[in-house]
Amino acid sequence: MAAFVKWSQEIRWKAGLHLLIGWEGNGLREPMALVEEMAPAGLVFFSRNYPPGGAAELTDQLGKLQRRSLAVSGRPLLLALDNEGGLVKRLPPPHIQLPGAPTLAARGVGLIRAMASDSAAELKTLGFNLNLAPVLDLALPGGFMETRSFGEDPDAVADLAMAFVNGFNDHGIHCCGKHFPGLGAAQADPHKILPTVDLDAEAMGPHLAPFAKAIDRGLKFVMTSHCAYPGLGLTKISTFSPKLCDILRERLGFKGLCLSDDLEMGAVANNCRLGEAAVSAVTAGHDLVLVCRKRDYIEETHRALSLATIDGHLKDGRFSESQRRLESFFERLKNAL
């Protein structure tokens, strides 16, 4: 972390406010160092981070990280994980194991809310406050998201997803709908390469619909996709286009926090430097950018955001609005502790 000593505390924390970051091991030292040096908006937990002492040790770790963040910067932490169910879950048994979206869909909104509520109660006890789920992408045949989606019908997807969200909200766990503006028609996986969705604007309408309906019903977090959508005028990586965030905020009326997907995914990391990617994503209108594993990448993105703050690159109205949204959110989060 010595590379960051030259940055003032104010600059380091201002840059950190836009970072949601992961770490490699299952101990406390690395995430604690990240909190103390960068004051990130939050930390993302993965299966690799599960400590040998199980739930008791995890609860202790998350509590210490939360208290340290408050002591260092006065801000609470977003403590996040992907708890979609099915193939995408981060906690091992005997923790509650939610089934995947197709199985949940067959059980209907009542059971989905009840099951989500049970899972949320457990996550709350452990110390988490953000679930990077549910998926709002449509389940189109042959699409790589098919096994993680609630179905093909936009209205049904919105209803089922919001039952899931409401179950988590029952216990104060925020949820993040993903992957805007929809990966249902993508054939390639952005974890590996940049996909292209070759649908015109009209054909993209059903893919936007679940997001629009969820936003109307109070969804507070949205994650965007690393994908190209020529029909929407997004011919390169959508994450870096202000047009993507304009569709979300101006067309759909979203007033919550907008997250990028993990910048370490192949769709981004194979095509540009991560520091430049982080600045481009924030400049485009993202409030938070995810960098989920490698310390070198985390340091690179923090350095780039710090430099962009110093040189004035991040001083336009879009950035100022993002800062206000984040500061307002974290004040409410702090009051809720």
- Reduced to 3 states, what is the DSSP secondary structure of residue 19? strand
Which member of 153, 170, 171, 191 is catalytic? 191
> Strand pairing partners for 42?
20, 78
- Reduced to 3 states, what is the DSSP secondary structure of residue 137? coil
Q: Give Rg (Cα) of the chain.
A: 19
Q: Residue 113, Cβ neighbours under 10 Å: how many?
A: 20
Question: Can 191 be counted among the known catalytic residues?
Answer: yes
Those residues whose C-beta lies under 8 Å from the C-beta of residue 102, and which sit 6 or more positions away, are 86, 139, 147, 149, 150, 151
Residue with tokens 């993202």: 286
Q: 108 — alpha (psi -120 to 50), left (phi > 0) or beta? A: left
Q: How many angstroms separate the CA atoms of 277 and 238, rounded?
A: 11
Which member of 261, 262, 286, 287 is catalytic? 261
- Give the residue among 114, 89, 111, 113 at the shortest CA–CA distance from 100: 89
- Give the residue among 118, 219, 238 at the shortest CA–CA distance from 159: 219
- Give the residue among 32, 16, 92 at the shortest CA–CA distance from 66: 32
DSSP-assigned states of every residue in 25-38: SSSSHHHHHHHHHH
Q: How many angstroms separate the CA atoms of 222 and 119, rounded?
A: 21
Question: Can 159 be counted among the known catalytic residues?
Answer: no
CA distances from 31 to 19, 40, 220, 263, 296 (A): 13, 10, 26, 19, 14
Catalytic residue numbers read 191, 261
